[in-house]
Amino acid sequence: MADIDVTHIKSYVINLKKNIEKYTFLQKNLATINIRPERFNGIYGKDLSNEYIDSVTYPSVQFTIDHGRTVDNNIGTLGGIGCYLSHVNLWKKIGDSSEDVFLILEDDAAPSIYSADEINRFLNSINKADPDWDAIYLGWAKPFYSSNNDIKISNDIYKINEITFQTHAYLINKKGAKKLLEKAFPIVDQVDSYMSFMAMYRNFRSYRGNVSYIVQNNVEGSDIQTDFSIKIYINQLSNYSIKICSIVIMIVIILLLFLCVYFYKKSRSRE
C-alpha cells in the first residue's frame, strides 16, 4: 500500500471569476505547506436561471430560499446551490481524470499547521486503518446540537456518522465521487450535509481527524456560498434559543428538586 503525500495529490480550489484575488491569497497560504492547487471555476448561484434551478433541486428548496431555513442542513440560498454544483462538477472531473484522488478546496481555506508532514501522517494512518476509504476531511466543524456520534477509530481518526459541516478541504477518490454522484440530484441539502447523510445511510466511507489541519479563513465570507439572509439567521437563532431554554429549564427543575429535598431533610432534622 503506497503512502499518501498530500503535496503530490492533484488539488483544486473552487473560486468565482469575480474574486480571483481570493485564489491568489489562498495560493500564498497553502504554498507554506507545499500544497499548490489549480483554480477551478465555481458556479455563481445568482447566475442560474429559475428553470435550471427547478430542474436540479427538490421543490422544498425554493420554499426555503423564499422563507429562510429552519435547520442547518437545508439549502437556503442561491449561493448554496452554486456551491453544491461546484463540488458536483469536481466529482465528475475526477471520474474523467487519470488521477485516483483529488484534494478539493474552497477559496476560504487556510492551513492551521506548519508542515504537510502532519497531514501526511494523518492521511496514512487512515489509509492503513481503512484502505477502502472514500473521503477524508482535512477540516470540519460540528453543529451546535452534535451528539458526538462519529465512530472513534483511534485518538485522531473518526468515521463520520453524523452531520459534519464544512467542505473547504477534503480528499476524495474516484470510488467516493461515484457514490456521491449516484444520489446527488435532486438537490435537497447543503453539500456538506449531503455528504454526511451519505456517510450515515449509504456506506460513504468518510473520515475526519480530532483537529482541523486546514481551517476556514472566512473573515470576509466564502466566495462560493454567500447571500445569507436575516430571515435565515433569525430562524437559526430561534432554534438555538429553544435548545438553550430547554437546557436552562432542566437545570432550574433539578435545582428546585435539590432545594426541596434539602429543606425537607432540614425540617425533619429539627423535629
**In this predicted model, what pLDDT tens digit does every residue of 202-237 receive, in sequence order?**
999 999 999 999 999 865 455 455 444 344 344 444
Question: What are the boundaries of each domain within the chain?
Answer: 6-228, 230-271
Q: How far is residue 6's CA from residue 120's CA, in Å, rounded to a whole number?
A: 6
Q: Residues 6 or more apart from 31 whose CB is under 8 A from it?
A: none
Q: Which tens digits make up the pLDDT trace of 115-134?
A: 999 999 999 999 999 999 99
Q: Which tens digits make up the pLDDT trace of 20-67?
A: 999 999 999 999 999 999 999 999 999 999 999 999 999 999 999 898
Give strand ranges (E) for the chain.
10-15, 38-41, 101-106, 109-111, 135-137, 151-154, 157-159, 169-173, 206-208, 214-216
pLDDT of residue 182: 98
Q: How far is residue 84's CA from residue 194's CA, in Å, rounded to a whole number?
A: 9
pLDDT of residue 225: 52
pLDDT of residue 228: 41
Angle at 147 between CA 104 and CA 109, to 5 degrees: 20
* Pairing state between β 109-111 and 214-216: antiparallel
* This prediction's pTM: 0.81
Which residue has 492503513 as its cell numbers?
128
Which residue has 439567521 as its cell numbers?
233
pLDDT of residue 241: 55
* CATH (one of 3.90.550, 3.30.450, 3.30.420, 1.10.8) for 6-228: 3.90.550
- Range with lowest mean pLDDT among 31-40, 96-105, 180-189, 234-243: 234-243
Per DSSP, 220 falls in state S
Averaged pLDDT score across all residues of the chain: 89
Q: What one-character-per-residue DSSP string does 50-98 give? A: HHHHHHHB-HHHHHHHHH--SSTTB--SHHHHHHHHHHHHHHHHHHTSS
